[in-house]
Amino acid sequence: MEAALTPVIAGIGKTRFDSGWLAARSTEVELTGAQLTTTHPPTGADPPWMEAVVPGTVLATLVKNKAVPDPFYGSNNEAIIDIADSGREHYTFWFFTTFQCKLPEAQHLDLNFRAINYSAEVYLNGNKKVLPKGMFRRHRLDVTDILHPNGQNMLAILVHPPDHPGKIPPEGGQGGDHEIGKDVATQYVQGWDWMAPIRDRNTGIWDEVSVSVTGPVKLIDPHLVSSFFDNYKRVYLHCTTELENRSTRVAECSLSIEVTAELEGNFTLIEHLRTEHRSISAGARSQHTFTELFFYKPNLWWPNGMGKQSLYHVAISVEVKGFGESDSWRHLFGFRKIESHIDSATGGRLFKVNGQPIFIRGGNWILSDGLLRLSEKRYETDIKFHADMNFNMIRCWGGGLAERPEFYRYCDMYGLLVWQEFWITGDVDGRGDPVSNPDGPLDHDLFLLCARDTVKLLRNHASLALWVGGNEQVPPVDLNTALKDYLKLHPYFEKVDGHDKILEDLNNEEEDPSLYLDGTRIYVQGSMWDGFADSKGGWTDGPYEIQYPESFFKDDFYNYGFNPEVGSVGVPVAATIRATMPPEGWQIPIFKKLPNGYTEEVPNPIWQYHKYIPYSKPDKVHDQIEVYGTPTDLDDFCLKAQLVNYVQYRALLEGWTSHMWRKFTGVLIWKTQNPWTGLRGQFYDHLLDQTAGFYGCRSAAEPIHVQLNLATYSIEVVNTTSDELSGIAIEASVWDLEGACPYYKVFDKLSVPPKKTVSIVEMNYPKSQSPKPVYFLLLKLYHMSDSGIISRNFYWLHVSGGNYKLLEAYRKKKVPLRITSRAYVRGSTYEIDMHVQNTSRRLNSQNLTYRNIFSRRHRVGDIDLASLGSDQAAKEVKRQSGLLQGAAKCFSGLLQGAAKCFLKEANSPSVAIINGTDVGVAFFLHFSVHAMKTDRKEGEDTRILPVHYSDNYFSLVPGEIMTTKISFEVPPGVTPRVTLNGWNYHGGHTVH
């Protein structure tokens, strides 16, 4: 097999090396690095060489080449030798590539590694350079003098695993035997109660590799800071950059900073352009601080749900007299101020953005993929999913990654605040079995070097909200003291609500905030300190198991103001189980009856290996799947699990929001997703299909939300925005299983203050009447002026002491539906509007709320950017409906089994009628997207993933209409079909 195409390096700028790599186990290569990069280079993927995943890990490369089985499938991970048993040499690998580069005089070439795990020796054209240890540090090598004269360059890198990979005890455990904590590396790789061990401990070139061409002077780590005055009407942009003169003579430099804003229609507005001059001595490295730039009433960056995520393009360049442009740097920057303090009313940490309190509803994050197969495309899907759930914060857990700039860029775009922890966890750094070492990594200087470098890498991102020393632990005293010093706040940012500080105080260059390492964000020493959990490091996060939904609303459920971790269940849909496990893994848990009346779930060994968490908690919580009837098979189990997922997570967030500011300042759910095919604590699975819990969260975390307090049966309105709600009404209707509406009330002429949760009225159904054992409740909050829906919330409920087993017979209901579909196609990107109406009865409603015309449909995060490059995506974020403008094609909806796909004009939607004679609620409808296949094999996964839905797992009362927007990309040569299923609809209606 021939080697991949060789990158050609030309001109000032950066070139990434993300393809064309080969890899081989070091013990199978008898050549030295010098030989590999001079006389005996590999010529292709011939043993022992194979195509390599770079960026990526050794294990990712082995999986790609099928040299080991997929460790995320079934029990395959047990068939892969662990580094503790093989020795470190087994996962010590060579990586090889070539590139073309001939530099003109006075140009320089840097070879850049944004991260390697754990150490490496680099050979370029026979010359050796050593990369020191540390998973979270950047490496930059000036290789100008060792480039080959003919421009053909050969590069080989020998990568060594962490020094202390540790062993995995037979019983598993949190972080194995904790040896990995002696290194500055990810700690999850030795396994956790939600993760199997990673056999190579993530050895590899796991982040971006690039070369950059510069002239005599190089820009290094510019720092951008904004300061606000006059209630955010005035803002000043501060910038300091390091400069390195690599030449042997004084460099006369012209330094320019340009700030531009994107306008509608692809126009760009130059907000500022300033040039300053600087002389830099030969071989010197110095800092340059620009005179601050003034902006009047800038477009501010807001978190998700509070406003737009306005981002400006900042470009810095340096020209050298007698040479021309020497280097440049670009970044998307958001003007915003983040403040944080411990709230006196709740004891919880309170965050403010641009002076406005923000009630935190978010989730914990480990990383995107356990084998570090990271990509911009996956990051974008991950972050958009979080925005789609109406979350406003992501916590990067200390046993995982210091996340990458691509992750942060999408958090900037979608408005997700980020809590970033350093690499300390209680289990590996002070607790656990055996008791772990409380002194952190062996090399404290290395830890601090990596910490400083990480701050420089990430500090310019608007989404980055705070730094935290560790998970459920604080760093050792010397590290904690150093981090506090490194991350001390500039005086301007120390004062909460202090926006009118005299500007002249900032004119002294020594006090310019951009001279600090960060200076703009707080540092908290640990995840359960200083306003989180009990603030003292007590074991006061959690719980992590199934709960009764009403429990979340009770005053005694959680006693502290901000819970950084509370978790629960997360079984995915049946198709994911089949796609990630062999048939023996398709067996559902055994429901074992206990003498005390509770049920114990006994999962099969593969589910147990994938860290299944049960839907029961014997002695405390009865099985929440069983209340719908004992499941009969995998499909039945997973569908009932989705019902529970939806109820569980909606109740969790609604319960917290019910106590907003009175008892709580925020909550982070443990956790939003799994970095492998795990079976707990997730809103979407590793294949990127959402659970129903995703949509329970999406509903509960709306900025404006109507909800039922399950403890008091009061109807509440949540207003997290800065605007008062007035002229609004609530429509409450109860529907029974026969399709009748025994209760209908409208509560009108309501108003709700900003940033308040208000109890409106106590439901007198089921108390005042003879209630049905199982019933549905539909709440709608709407504007009285035009019946525009602000929030819609649908519950299924049973009387006290009851269950949902009557819903089993309800599955046989045949409720008629009318489905109107319209699809827009551009290349491989589809956007489909699906209008579904329950036609079992026509409602005689004067306010027309049955049409569900939403007043707040267009929000940041409601568009699909999956098909766009990062530059184009930056423009599209604020053009909410422009993703597919001008698309001219529309495809029709056909019933299942149709053989052709007819294209229609955009004004010719397709209509399908699903017949039925019953009157009632169309319950728990959900869409999925599949590839059309005539030769489909039994059990084959035909899903197209990921798909973005504006809503899913929804229910419609008689006469009601719901519109769902669906967007996705299809692989080349694939024709998609959209399928509709539901609790009482199993026809699998398909739109081709």
Per-residue DSSP letters for 160-216?
E--S------TT--TTTTSGGGGSSS-SGGG-BTTBPPPTTTT-B--S-EEEEEE-S
Among residues 767, 748, 796, which one has the least CA distance to residue 920? 796
Q: What is the dihedral of CA 534, 539, 540, 546, to 10 degrees?
A: 170
Among residues 311, 306, 300, 290, which one has the least CA distance to residue 233? 300
Per-residue DSSP letters for 677-696?
S-SSS-SB-TTSPBPHHHHH
Q: Which residue is associated with the tokens 């662990």?
A: 82
121 catalytically annotated: no
Give the side-chain half-sphere CA count within 13 A for 487: 27
Report yes or no: 141 and 402 within 8 Å, Cβ to Cβ.
no
The C-alpha angle with vertex 747 and arms to 657 and 553, in degrees rounded to 5, equals 25
The C-alpha angle with vertex 808 and arms to 803 and 812, in degrees rounded to 5, equals 150
Report yes or no: 693 and 570 within 8 Å, Cβ to Cβ.
yes
Angle, helix 405-414 to helix 444-458, in steps of 10 degrees:
40
Q: Identify the three-state secondary structure at position 789.
A: strand
Q: Could you give the C-alpha distances from 55 to 132, 157, 399, 910, in angstroms and in order?
A: 18, 13, 20, 45
405's enclosing H/E stretch is helix 405-414
- The whole-angstrom separation of Cα 113 and Cα 255 is 26
User: For the chain, how many residues are written?
Assistant: 992
565 catalytically annotated: yes
The neighbouring-strand residues paired with 100 are: 8, 152
- The whole-angstrom separation of Cα 644 and Cα 624 is 7
Tell me whether residue 270 is exposed, middle or buried, using C-beta atoms within 10 angstroms of its C-beta: 0 to 12, 13 to 18, 19 or more: exposed
Report yes or no: 53 and 373 within 8 Å, Cβ to Cβ.
yes
Say which amino acid occupies 368.
S
Contacts of 982 (CB under 8 A, 6+ apart): 922, 923, 924, 925, 926
Q: Could you give the C-alpha distances from 349 to 358, 552, 665, 909, 940, in angstroms and in order?
A: 11, 20, 7, 51, 48
The string over 706-738, giving b where at least 16 C-beta atoms fall within 10 Å of a residue's C-beta and e elsewhere, is: bbbbbbebbbbbbbbbeeebeebbbbbbbbbbe
- The whole-angstrom separation of Cα 364 and Cα 219 is 35
The catalytically annotated residue of 208, 421, 472, 960 is 472
Report yes or no: 980 and 922 within 8 Å, Cβ to Cβ.
no
Report yes or no: 752 and 717 within 8 Å, Cβ to Cβ.
yes
The catalytically annotated residue of 179, 565, 716, 969 is 565
**Phi, psi dihedral angles at 262 (to 5 degrees):** -85, 135
- The whole-angstrom separation of Cα 849 and Cα 668 is 33
Say which amino acid occupies 23.
A
Rounded to 5, what percent of the chain is helix, strand, coil? Answer: 20, 35, 50
Q: Active-site residues: which are they?
A: 472, 565
